[in-house]
A and B are shown apart, each in its own frame.
Chain A
């Protein structure tokens, strides 16, 4: 679209796109903020909101993130932080899957919960939050439980999956579906002061190894609960892994799991 290209080029401040110009372009050309963002990034013009990403994630990579589709399965402690961080990072398409509504006892740790959203679907709060912080990002909220039955359909077209579930059998089902679809799966789980993270790449059976001896529904979180900081730490590690895998940078948590102990402030690596 030549007119749009000209508009962006003439209104950009050097190679940066201020939000006000992004809004004006969307209105003028009848396009979404996301469409404007993709066009700008394609012209090597970076929305100013990503300026502090730039020394870490260049504009070409930012476009790649924008065109990526990530599914977040579970929108509680881990999922809430993951959605927030991925939207700020500039991942363009986030599908969030969770059947639950917010309850009062979620508010100690679930970043999307507040008195105003009690009783409301978690996935809708996620979509609302992303609309507020980065309206260029598309969120697809799915208020359903992830199952073996609907999993293949739900993950069609997804590049990478973030496991933010809270039951072990469903995590294993998710890992099976990701294996079938050849989608990388970034696992994270938490209990009390403790957490773990690992990545299952296509062809691997990492979750099967992590939970090989354990098929109960829940782990030690039923005894320990979950405080505010543990989901933030583990979700951040998961989002870093998502970013690295999408950009094919660095060394992912491949065939190794981080075991995180915030009480003794100790992180150990386990070879899987």
Chain B
């Protein structure tokens, strides 16, 4: 299945802004994060098709998943 992955802020560094990637059916969001070598503590907000999602959610063909890192400085 095809899933479009969007990365924001520093998550793009050494990776990409947006890519449509091939995953096997039933792939979970957490597996996408692992596959991209993103440390778990660098993902703070996850969206699937513009709605909040949890890492355990399974993705479907055509989903658009977006990852934002935690930003906390002042």
CB nearest to B74 among chain A residues: A166
Q: State A163–B74 Cα separation when bound (angstroms).
A: 9
Nearest neighbor of A225 in chain B, beta-carbon distance: B73
* B71 and A195 contact, CB distance less than 8 A: yes
B44 at interface (Cβ–Cβ under 8 A)?
Answer: yes
Q: Are B74 and A194 in contact (CB under 8 A)?
A: no
Structural contact, B72 and A213, CB atoms closer than 8 A: no
Of the residues B10, B47, B70, B73, contact of A214 by C-beta under 8 Å = B70
User: Is the CB–CB distance between B17 and A264 below 8 Å?
Assistant: yes
B12 proximity list for chain A (CB < 8 A): 264
Query: A79 to chain B: closest CB distance in Å?
Result: 7
CB of B8 within 8 A of CB of A221, answer: no
Main secondary structure of the interface of A (DSSP, over half): mixed
Are B50 and A259 in contact (CB-based, < 8 A)? no
Complex formed: what's the CA distance from A188 to B72 in Å?
Answer: 8
**B24 interface hit (Cβ, 8 Å):** no
- Residues of chain B from 23 to 74 with CB closer than 8 A to chain A in the complex: 41-47, 50-52, 54-55, 68-74
Can you list 27 pairs linking A and B with CB atoms under 8 Å apart? A76-B74, A78-B74, A163-B74, A168-B72, A189-B74, A190-B73, A190-B74, A193-B9, A194-B71, A209-B52, A210-B44, A213-B43, A213-B45, A213-B46, A213-B54, A216-B41, A218-B72, A218-B73, A220-B42, A221-B73, A224-B10, A226-B73, A261-B8, A264-B12, A264-B17, A268-B8, A270-B45
| Smallest beta-carbon distance A78→chain B, Å | 5
Q: In the complex, which residues of chain B have a beta carbon less than 8 angstroms from the beta carbon of A261? A: 8-9
**Residues of chain B lying within 8 A (CB to CB) of residue A167:** 72
Q: Is the CB of B9 within 8 A of A220?
A: yes
Q: Which residue of chain A is the closest to B73 with respect to CB atoms?
A: A221
Contact A259 B44, beta carbon cutoff 8 Å: no
User: Does residue A171 face the partner (Cβ distance < 8 Å to B)?
Assistant: yes
Q: Is the CB of A219 within 8 A of B72?
A: yes
Partner of A194, one of B10, B41, B45, B52: B10
Inter-subunit contact A213/B73 (CB<8 Å): no
A92: interface (CB < 8 Å):
no
A220 touches B45 (CB 8 A): no
The answer to the question of A47 belonging to the interface, with a C-beta cut-off of 8 Å to chain B, is no
| Complex Cα spacing A220 to B44, Å | 10
Complexed CA–CA distance, A79 and B10 (Å): 24
A126 to B21, CA, bound (A): 50
Contacting residue for A164 out of B17, B51, B74, CB 8 A:
B74
